[in-house]
Every structure is written in structure tokens, then in C-alpha cells.
Chains A and B, each alone.
Chain A
Amino acid sequence: MFRLAATPLDPSRLSHELKNPRAGALATFEGWVRNHDDARAVDGLEYEAFESMAESVGQDLVGQAIERFSLIDALVVHRIGRTEVGDLAIWVGATAEHRQEAFLACRWIMDRIKEDLPIWKRESYTKGGEATWVHAGASSLSHSEDPATNPYYARQVTLDWIGPAGQRKLAQSRVLVIGAGGLGCPALQYLAAAGVGTLRICDGDRIDETNLHRQILFSAHEIGQNKAEVAAERIRALNPHIAVSAIADAATGARLPELVTEVDVVLDCTDSFEAKYMIHDACWQAGTVLVQAAVYQLEGQIQVIDPRAEAGCFRCLWPEAPPSGCVGNCAEAGVLGVTPGLLGLYQAIETLKLLVGGENSLRDATLLVDVLSGRTQRILRSAREDCVCRGGTPWPNTPDHLLFPGRGAQELLANATVIDLREDHERLQDPEWIRALPHLPRAMWPALLREFPERPLVLCCAAGLRSRECVDLLEHPPEVYAWTRPIAEIARYR
């Protein structure tokens, strides 16, 4: 469990709370109030929390840790109010059958708490000076420095191409890297080291022994752990001045439209056509620039898909994915580790160019790279007038399952009236919440707009065909959306 405490913590009593005959290990972490921040002497700290939110976020994190690491139990207590040097500010304890899970969970909880918990601290300094509130997760390195004068970036700020203004732009940039594999690992390292302020890493896979020759952020002892989480840990250690977060899910799920909307640039570092098309379609519809790379054995290609450029989208070039099995991925065709390494570096530099501003040579071209011959070829792309990105037909792969682009499913469904377009006999086996939805069988469709004046409306049916058909019949009225998946799948948004 998680709780806040306004009085001093007693570690032995807290450990006692976790006693359990099944537990073979207890790992604990104590965070102490220290007497300095950078070079300034500190004589105490005051913690202030947004209490109800902190408790629910904390409780949620502890629950996630228990599930993730198969813990027997975990307890986190965070101090609030005034603390003195040497006081315990936070105590984390995790019990498990074996030591490994307990160690890992303790660290995971602490890292997540520093990042997510709405708790602020105010340092008071021995020699006076104004005390300021900072988020408790801000390390002493990150809140005190202008990136343009931070020694970490000294060697690149001196480049005219970056300069102080460019370094500050990087610090304010948000980048999502989807896939922490052979492409993602090197891209992440250089984006972090260059000072991209917010890096989000998305990968649902676990580290496998056959990955290690190319996924160079990972070590042999981390086999079995989630790639996004381990990558995030490495990247945080590499550059403590930036915010790094891990999303331990495949990016192709329901959250994709939201994820790509929240960032300036997305890097597609995945290794399947299915993921590449979904990520591309989501980025294009969100207006987010995509830096896309793929490799085959000793060759690779990279391109920048920018909805604001004239060169069209990925589907202008490749309208649809090839049938599965025709073109091998790394597992099927084999790959030399350096190949994705090199292409991942190309992705990093193209991303930096986009963020710093100015020219980008791949917004209207594909770069083909052949590692063996050392040859590269830049091939100009242009838009295809009958492509889906030029209007007309709906996107074949609308990732939020709504026929109309530009709205996140989550946000829309929170405010929309959902209407079931199926016939009565199709509704007999439905769960209660679906039967409770307003309902309009086909014969009544022409009356839809009159019967349901409220907006927005989301139309649903068994598979999504009728909802499209109905929207077509009504000639696409504003704020009326077709859900293009089975009706039951809206459950996860409600």
C-alpha cells in the first residue's frame, strides 16, 4: 500500500508491517534529506502533496509493482510537511519469494514515484536566499540549469548549427520512440545525449537472447525484462537532465492516436509492416512528423514523412502492406547488428534536424543505405494524386477505429452519445451496458438526426460496416462518427 505521513518514519515498524511467512526477501529503500543541493547548503525541506491525487497515484504504482514483479507485498510511505537534514523522506519496502524481484521492484517503485507523484519540495538554505518549490522528482541537476549553459552540452552548443537557441529548442522538444530494438537503441542514446527534453519509449516486448547482438542498450542479465523499461533506465542514467518515460505496451493499441498527438516527432523503430502502417496512419492524421526506418540484412532505408511537406505520405509510395511472409523481418531474414545501428543513428540525426529547425534532406526523399558497398542513394519521393492522403476514400487503417480522423477515441467517447445500429435480434446476448445504449435499427436510420439531436454521436454495429454505411447514407453530418470495430470494443474507452 501507499500512504503519506506527516510525522517521522520508523523503518523497523514499517518493515514489520510487511512480515509474511511466504516472503523470502525484503528489499527496502530509504530516501534521506541531505544537507546540500548543488553547492548550496540546505538545512531542511518541506514537502507538500496534492494529497488525494498522490494517494491514488501511489496506490496505483504499488499495485502495478506487485503485479509486475510478482511481489508478495509492497509498502511505500512518503513524508509530507517539514523535515530536517537526516530525516527519512521516503521509505519503500518490497517483499517477494526471492531477492531478485524484491530488488528490482524496490528500484522500479522509487524511479516511478520520483517521476509521477504529485509532491513538491521546498528547500530552505542555511545562508538565506529565497526558497523555491520544485517537483520532488526533479533531480538537483535538472532544475538548476539552462540547457544552453549546461556543461553536458558544451561541445555541441558551440556548433553554429545548434547554438544556445537550438539547445533550448531541444530541451523543449518531445519525442516518442516506438520500438526499443535494433533501430531504437542507438536512436535513443543519441537523442538523449543531445538533450531532447522529453523522451517516451514504447515497446511491449521482453528482451530476448537473440536481440542482444543489435539491441545494444541491453545486457545479458536483463533477458526477460521489458525493453521499454530497461531502455528508459539506461537513458536516464546517460542523461539525468531530461525526462524519460517508458510505455510497456505495443504501440499499435488503442492509445496510439493519443501518444502520437502528444509529441513533436515520432520515430518508427518497429520491425513489422502492420506496426509501420498503423504508426504512419496515426501520425499522418495527427499531423505529427514521422521518422521511419527499416532494415534488411545489410541494407536499410530511412525517410521522413511530414504531413506539412509536399512529398506525400508513406501510402503514396506503398499503398498497402505486402502479404505476410513475402518479405522477411530480422528474425526471418537475419540482420547484422550494425545495420539497424547505422539506420537508428540516421533516425537520430534526422530528428535533431527537425527539432532544431532548418533543412531536412529526407522530407521529400528516401535514403537507401548499403552497408556492404558503403553506398547511399537518395531517391526523391512525390505525392500520388489518388492516394488516401489526398482525400476521398477513408484511411484503410484508422488506428482509433473512428472513420473520421483528427479526434482521439478516448476524448470523443467520453462526451459522445453512442448509438447501436444493429437489429433487435442481434442484441439478445449483449451485456447489460450495451443493451442500455440507445438503439436504432436499419429501417429507422433516415430518422437518426431527428431522433438524436445531441452531438457528438458515435454509431456502432456488429463489425463497423453498417456504421460506415449509415454515415454515408446521411452524407457525413458534422459531429457524427462511425465506429469501425465491433461494438463491444468501445468498452475499453468507457
Chain B
Amino acid sequence: MTRVRLQYFAALREHAGRSEEVLESSAATLADLYEELRLRHGFVLDASRIRAAVSERYVPLETPLTENMQITFIPPVAGG
């Protein structure tokens, strides 16, 4: 199990009902982790429609999970 610190942005925060959480996951990659979270929180967008940032940089969703990783999940936003 890998312990990660998560932040949600915009619609993901709304659906998760929180802006951050710390959890342990057996997911291998960010995409697997997001899929787990999508089922748990009822996110509408699938993994191909969102972006992830780790250590203040956008990273591919294929990035493997590492211990104490700080991850932000970001959906597209268009309001104005």
C-alpha cells in the first residue's frame, strides 16, 4: 500500500465533497488511483479527461505512485 496526499480541483472537489485527503492505495499508477477514486466519489469524467500534477508539474497519468506523493487532480474548466 502506498500512502498519498491528494488535492482536488473544481468539479472533482465538488464531487469528492472535500478539497484534500490522505489515503493508502494499492494502485500502481495515477490512472489506476483515479479510477479507484472515480468509483468512490462518483466523478463524472473518466481518466482520459483529467490531468494530474505532482510536485507542481503536470505529469502523465501513467506515472507510478510513490510513497508520500502529493497529487493534484484537475478537470477541465470553462466558466467565465
| Residue ranges of A at the interface with B (Cβ–Cβ < 8 Å) | 179, 181-184, 269-273, 276, 293-297, 299-301, 317-318, 321-322, 326-330, 333, 335, 340, 366, 368, 370, 372-373, 377-382
Once bound together, how far apart are the Cα atoms of A111 and B31, in whole Å?
Answer: 56
CB–CB A297/B80 < 8 A: no
Q: Which residues in A have their C-beta under 8 angstroms from that of B75? A: 322, 327
- Pairs of residues from A and B, 9 with the lowest C-beta to C-beta distance, nearest first: A271-B80, A296-B10, A294-B77, A330-B79, A380-B57, A379-B53, A295-B79, A183-B80, A296-B77
- Supply 14 A–B pairs (Cβ within 8 Å), ascending by A: A183-B80, A270-B78, A294-B77, A296-B79, A297-B14, A318-B51, A322-B76, A326-B44, A326-B45, A327-B44, A327-B77, A378-B56, A379-B74, A381-B58
Q: Number of contact residues on B: which range applies?
A: 20 to 34
Once bound together, how far apart are the Cα atoms of A329 and B49, in whole Å?
Answer: 16
Partner of B80, one of A270, A321, A327: A270
Known: A377-B56, A380-B56. A184 touches B11 (CB 8 A): no
Q: Which residues in A have their C-beta under 8 angstroms from that of B78? A: 270-273, 276, 294, 327, 329
CB–CB A299/B57 < 8 A: no
Known: A377-B72, A379-B56, A379-B58. A335 touches B51 (CB 8 A): no
Closest to A215 in B: B80
Q: How far is the CB of A292 from chain B (nearest CB, A)?
A: 10
Q: Which residues in A have their C-beta under 8 angstroms from that of B51? A: 317-318
Within 8 A of A (CB), among B16-66: 19, 44-45, 49, 51, 53, 56-58
Residue in A296, A318, A330, A335 whose Cβ sees the most chain B Cβ within 10 Å: A296
CB–CB B80/A380 < 8 A: no
Once bound together, how far apart are the Cα atoms of A412 and B79, in whole Å?
Answer: 35
Q: Which residues in B have their C-beta under 8 angstroms from that of A321? A: 76
Q: How far is the CB of B72 from chain A (nearest CB, A)?
A: 7
Q: Which residues in B have their C-beta under 8 angstroms from that of A380? A: 56-58
Partner of A340, one of B10, B53, B80: B80
CB–CB A373/B80 < 8 A: no
Q: How far is the CB of A334 from chain B (nearest CB, A)?
A: 9
Q: Which residues in A have their C-beta under 8 angstroms from that of B3? A: none
Once bound together, how far apart are the Cα atoms of A300 and B75, in whole Å?
Answer: 11
CB–CB A368/B45 < 8 A: no
Q: How far is the CB of A325 from chain B (nearest CB, A)?
A: 9
CB–CB A379/B80 < 8 A: no
Interface residues of chain A: helix, strand, loop or mixed (majority)? mixed
Q: Which residues in B have their C-beta under 8 angstroms from that of A276? A: 78
Partner of A328, one of B11, B53, B72: B11
Residue in B13, B58, B75 whose Cβ sees the most chain A Cβ within 10 Å: B58
Closest to B45 in A: A326
Q: Which residues in B have their C-beta under 8 angstroms from that of A373? A: 19
Q: Which residues in B have their C-beta under 8 angstroms from that of A272? A: 78
Partner of A333, one of B9, B11, B19: B11
Partner of A294, one of B44, B53, B56, B80: B80
Q: Which residues in A have their C-beta under 8 angstroms from that of B10? A: 296-297, 299, 327
CB–CB A329/B56 < 8 A: no
Q: How far is the CB of B76 from chain A (nearest CB, A)?
A: 5
Once bound together, how far apart are the Cα atoms of A370 and B12, in whole Å?
Answer: 13
Q: How far is the CB of A177 from chain B (nearest CB, A)?
A: 11
CB–CB A295/B77 < 8 A: yes
Closest to B51 in A: A317
CB–CB A301/B77 < 8 A: yes
Once bound together, how far apart are the Cα atoms of A270 and B74, in whole Å?
Answer: 20
CB–CB B76/A273 < 8 A: yes
Closest to A343 in B: B80
Q: Which residues in B have their C-beta under 8 angstroms from that of A333? A: 11, 14, 79
Once bound together, how far apart are the Cα atoms of A391 and B57, in whole Å?
Answer: 24
Additional A-B contact list (17), CB under 8 Å, known A179-B80, A295-B77, A296-B10: A183-B80, A269-B80, A272-B78, A297-B10, A297-B79, A299-B9, A300-B77, A318-B76, A322-B49, A327-B45, A327-B75, A330-B80, A335-B79, A377-B53, A379-B56, A379-B74, A380-B57
